[in-house]
């Protein structure tokens, strides 16, 4: 077997008070594909920087084969000091490397090479940095979150490009599908140490769980041994004047072992509080909605109906208009034409993809409490801020830590903690998976699956979309959007290809939410007189019922009503139940006739 290209042995490193790495190893052979996984804050990025030679460890050895070329992609690339993206990429080439490949990669990643680095978006910075590390075709590629800020077409291209390279890969990523596709070896960094499995990331969870179960069994045995020793200490020496100091010392050592043992970090406890349910089934209804900026159509005659409990994913390339469509559906943006109607009693919580909503100088505790005492308002109740922090894997000593020193993953968890404390029956999530570790992603998926309300999700994480959504709205270009039942994989099967342009001949016939640029051919037939009358009168009836439900809900909410007049309270509750049922029936009838009218081309 050939000697490894890169070896890290017994790496130890301490930042601040506690040790971050306490004996981490990493070995990379020619052509190996390694997934480096672990929780946020476990030291993955630091270990990768040690491997790249940018961080000097407190102890341990780094050995690279003579002549081996190693390239490192950081999470936050720095393009300062370069006049153009091409200059930045070509600066990463070695003697004899092909400058044409640098320009080829820039073009493949949607850049010309003439862009000013100071004017680039986060996604464009990531693309330029990828071109820089890929251009030399190095022996070892160290990639820290390479899919961050990339859209689905770029992620698919990057997967294919990396698969075609002969380079060895070490990849940190929260994108499960990306890791499963590319990895052949998994290295798990946990509590400062590494474990290695000669299997791909697809087998990681079963392997990890088996290790943790074995640790728990060993800890249980240790606890039993301590209990036995304590029993001997209390009752086994009552007739003696001198204790057996050897056994006393052993007990102290056992207690020290348990006290200093670095157990696996707990899991995030993530819940979302649902406010009062939306009256009726309707949450959002969009009819022939259009939005343009200048001559460019972002949304063209899009119609959909979103009911309570639906989980809708919005998918498309960067710049396709996903956030615009999201804002149209939630009423944050007015359409140029068409109508958007929201159901009654909607309580919406939005989690945007930026972190700018966090005050960098405010402490973690103040961010959660709003600066008012030590209690966090979670739904209709309260919880002490330290307990709520623990639910999201923050240590008590971090309570006074300013937001600016938190890692990207910690800021993402803080945003989630703050958003999920609010009562909501409509969750609007714009790229919620950014910077989350895999365990937190798992729990966010479970929370969304159990949430009884409605979810609107924008994401480039294919696995996350598959696990969460019930249907996907996909950009088809030129302002056209199509809704497909199921997750990303289901959309792929129906559509025949991933996100991007497709041939018109491959389009499925009239799926729900179709927004073809060509009007549908008129079918023979017409609405009955009763249906025409209902189409005119139902909107007014729906508005009346919504007002009636709101009035009855306000009466029921009076805390004194039940004690003052129980009969009146019961009458109001019964009337509200009937009004909700009538409202749902009216909405369904109107939608049924409206869909029939569209099918007839009237």
pLDDT of 271: 58
44 is annotated as contributing to ligand binding: yes
> For the chain, what is the mean pLDDT?
81
* HSE, side-chain direction, 13 A CA sphere, residue 558: 18
Which residues span the domain enclosing 377?
Answer: 359-422
| Co-location of 320 and 457 in the same domain | yes
Structure tokens at 406: 């938190």
* 317 known member of a binding site: yes
* Residue for token pair 């020496």: 237
- Confidence class for position 268, pLDDT limits 50, 70, 90: low
Residue range 129-172, pLDDT digits in tens: 999 999 999 999 999 999 988 888 889 999 999 999 999 999 99
User: Do 533 and 405 sit in the same domain of this protein?
Assistant: no
Whose tokens are 């994480």? That residue is 461
State yes or no: 39 annotated in a binding site. yes
Q: Are residues 436 and 331 in the same domain?
A: yes
| 234 plus 252 within the same structural domain | yes
pLDDT of residue 598: 65
pLDDT at 501: 33
The answer to whether residue 563 sits within a structural domain is: yes
Same domain, 436 and 504: yes
Least confident of 77-91, 262-276, 500-514, 568-582: 500-514
Tell me, yes or no, whether 324 and 455 share the same domain: yes
320 is in an annotated binding site: yes
pLDDT band at 276 (very low <50, low <70, confident <90, very high): low
Domain boundary among 485, 518, 551: 518
In angstroms, what CA-CA distances link 581 with 121, 587, 589?
Answer: 49, 10, 12
Quickly state the pLDDT bin for 439 (edges 50, 70, 90): confident
User: pLDDT value at position 537?
Assistant: 84
One domain for residues 596 and 474: no
- For residues 370 and 246, membership in a common domain is answered with no
CATH code for the domain of 15: 3.40.50.300
The Cβ of residue 290 has, within 10 Å, a number of other Cβ atoms equal to 17
The reply, when asked if residue 321 is annotated as ligand binding, is: yes
The 10s digit of each residue's pLDDT in 583-593 is 877 877 777 77
Q: What is the pLDDT of residues 441-486, one digit of tens each?
A: 877 887 787 777 899 999 888 888 888 888 899 998 889 999 988 8
DSSP SS3 for 280:
strand
Tens-digit pLDDT profile for residues 212-257: 888 888 777 777 766 766 555 555 544 444 445 555 555 555 555 5
Please tell me whether 43 is known to bind a ligand: yes
The reported pLDDT for the residue numbered 512 is 36
Strand order in the sheet with 19-28: 59-64, 6-14, 19-28, 193-197, 185-190, 33-37, 168-172, 140-144, 70-73
**pLDDT score of 266:** 54
Residue 41 CA to residue 409 CA, distance in Å, equals 8
User: Is 552 within the bounds of a domain?
Assistant: yes
Q: CA-CA distance, 60 to 55, in Å (whole number)?
A: 12
**pLDDT number for residue 228:** 67
Shared domain check, 225 and 175? no
- Considering the domain boundaries, does residue 352 fall inside one? no
* pTM recorded for the entire structure: 0.68
Task: Kindly state whether residues 1 and 88 are assigned to the same domain.
Answer: no
Q: Report whether 322 belongs to an annotated binding site.
A: yes
Q: At 513, is the pLDDT very low, low, confident or very high (cuts 50, 70, 90)?
A: very low
pLDDT at residue 485, rounded to an integer: 87
DSSP sequence for 236-277? TTTT-SS--HHHHHHHHHHHHHHHH--PPPPPP-------SP
45 labelled ligand-binding:
yes
- Structural tokens at position 32: 């190996």
- Asked whether the predicted pLDDT for residue 430 surpasses 60, the reply is yes
CATH number at 596 reads: 1.10.287.380
Tell me: the pLDDT tens digits for 288-307?
999 998 888 999 999 999 98
pLDDT value of position 584: 75
Q: What SS3 class is residue 288? A: strand
85 by DSSP, 3-state: which? helix
Average pLDDT of the segment spanning 267-278:
55
Query: What digits encode the pLDDT tens for the residues 365-411?
Result: 999 988 888 888 876 678 898 988 888 878 888 888 888 888 777 78
pLDDT over threshold 50, residue 521: no
Per-residue pLDDT for 520 more than 50? no
State how beta strands 480-485 and 454-458 pair. Answer: unpaired
| pLDDT bucket at 184, cuts 50 / 70 / 90 | very high
Sorting pLDDT into bands at 50, 70 and 90, what band is 507? very low
- Domains held by the chain: number: 6
Q: Hey, how many other C-beta atoms are within 10 angstroms of the C-beta on 341?
A: 17
Statement to judge: residues 533 and 503 lie in one domain = no
% of the chain at pLDDT higher than 90: 36
Residue of higher predicted confidence among 115 and 235: 115
Average pLDDT over every residue of 10-20: 83
Does 316 carry a binding-site annotation? yes
- Note whether 184 and 322 are same-domain residues: no
Query: For position 524, what pLDDT does the model report?
Result: 42
- Rounded to 5°, angle at Cα 191 from 187 and 194: 25
CA distance 8 to 64: 9
């Amino acid at each position: 077997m050939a000697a490894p290209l890169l070896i890290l042995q017994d790496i130890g490193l301490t930042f601040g008070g506690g040790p971050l790495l306490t004996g981490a190893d990493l070995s990379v052979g020619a052509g190996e594909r390694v997934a480096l996984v672990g929780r946020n804050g476990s030291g993955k990025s630091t270990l990768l920087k040690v491997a790249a030679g940018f961080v000097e460890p407190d102890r341990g050895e780094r050995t690279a084969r003579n002549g081996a070329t190693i390239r490192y992609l950081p999470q936050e690339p720095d393009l300062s000091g370069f006049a153009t993206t091409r200059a930045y990429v070509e600066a990463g080439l070695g003697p004899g490397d092909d400058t044409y490949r640098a320009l080829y990669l820039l073009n493949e990643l949607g850049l010309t090479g003439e862009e000013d680095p100071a004017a680039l978006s986060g996604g464009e910075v990531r693309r330029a940095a990828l071109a820089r590390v890929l251009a030399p075709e190095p022996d070892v590629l160290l990639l820290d979150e390479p899919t961050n800020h990339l859209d689905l077409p770029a992620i698919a291209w990057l997967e294919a490009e990396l698969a075609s390279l002969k380079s060895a890969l070490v990849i940190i990523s929260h994108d499960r599908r990306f890791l499963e596709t590319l990895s052949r070896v998994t290295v798990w960094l946990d509590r400062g140490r590494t474990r290695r499995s000669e299997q791909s990331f697809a087998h990681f969870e079963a392997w990890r769980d088996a290790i943790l179960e074995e640790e728990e069994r060993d800890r249980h045995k240790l606890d039993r041994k301590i209990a036995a020793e304590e029993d001997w200490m209390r009752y086994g020496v009552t007739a003696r004047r001198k204790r057996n100091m050897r056994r006393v010392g052993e007990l102290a050592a056992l207690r020290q072992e348990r006290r200093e043992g670095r157990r696996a970090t707990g899991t995030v406890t993530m819940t979302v509080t649902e406010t009062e349910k939306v009256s009726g089934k309707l949450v959002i209804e969009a009819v022939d909605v259009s939005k343009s900026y200048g001559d460019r159509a972002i949304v063209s005659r899009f119609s959909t109906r979103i009911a309570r409990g639906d989980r809708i994913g919005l998918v498309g390339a960067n710049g396709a208009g996903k956030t615009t469509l999201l804002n149209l559906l939630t009423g944050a943006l007015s359409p140029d034409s068409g109508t958007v109607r929201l159901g009654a009693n909607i309580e919406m919580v939005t989690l945007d993809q930026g972190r700018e909503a966090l005050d960098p100088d405010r402490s973690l505790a103040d961010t959660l409490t709003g600066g008012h005492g030590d209690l966090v308002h979670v739904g209709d109740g309260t919880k002490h801020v330290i307990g709520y922090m623990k639910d999201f894997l923050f240590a008590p000593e971090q309570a006074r830590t300013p937001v600016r020193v938190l890692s990207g993953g910690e800021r993402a968890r803080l945003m989630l903690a703050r958003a999920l404390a609010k009562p909501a029956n409509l969750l609007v999530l714009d790229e919620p998976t950014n910077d989350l570790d895999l365990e937190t992603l798992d729990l966010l998926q479970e929370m969304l699956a159990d949430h009884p309300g409605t979810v609107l999700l924008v994401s480039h994480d294919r696995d996350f979309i598959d696990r969460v959504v019930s249907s996907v709205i996909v950009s088809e270009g030129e302002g056209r959007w199509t809704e497909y039942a199921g997750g990303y994989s289901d959309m792929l099967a129906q559509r025949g290809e991933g996100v991007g342009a497709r041939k018109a001949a491959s389009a499925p016939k009239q799926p729900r939410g179709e927004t073809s640029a060509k009007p549908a051919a008129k079918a023979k037939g017409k609405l009955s007189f009763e249906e025409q009358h209902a189409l005119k009168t139902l909107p007014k009836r729906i508005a009346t019922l919504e007002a009636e439900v709101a009035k009855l809900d306000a009466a029921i909410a009076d805390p004194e009503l039940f004690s003052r007049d129980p009969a009146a309270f019961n009458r109001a509750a019964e009337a509200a139940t009937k009004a909700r049922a009538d409202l749902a029936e009216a909405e369904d009838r109107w939608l049924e006739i409206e869909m029939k009218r569209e099918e007839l081309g009237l």
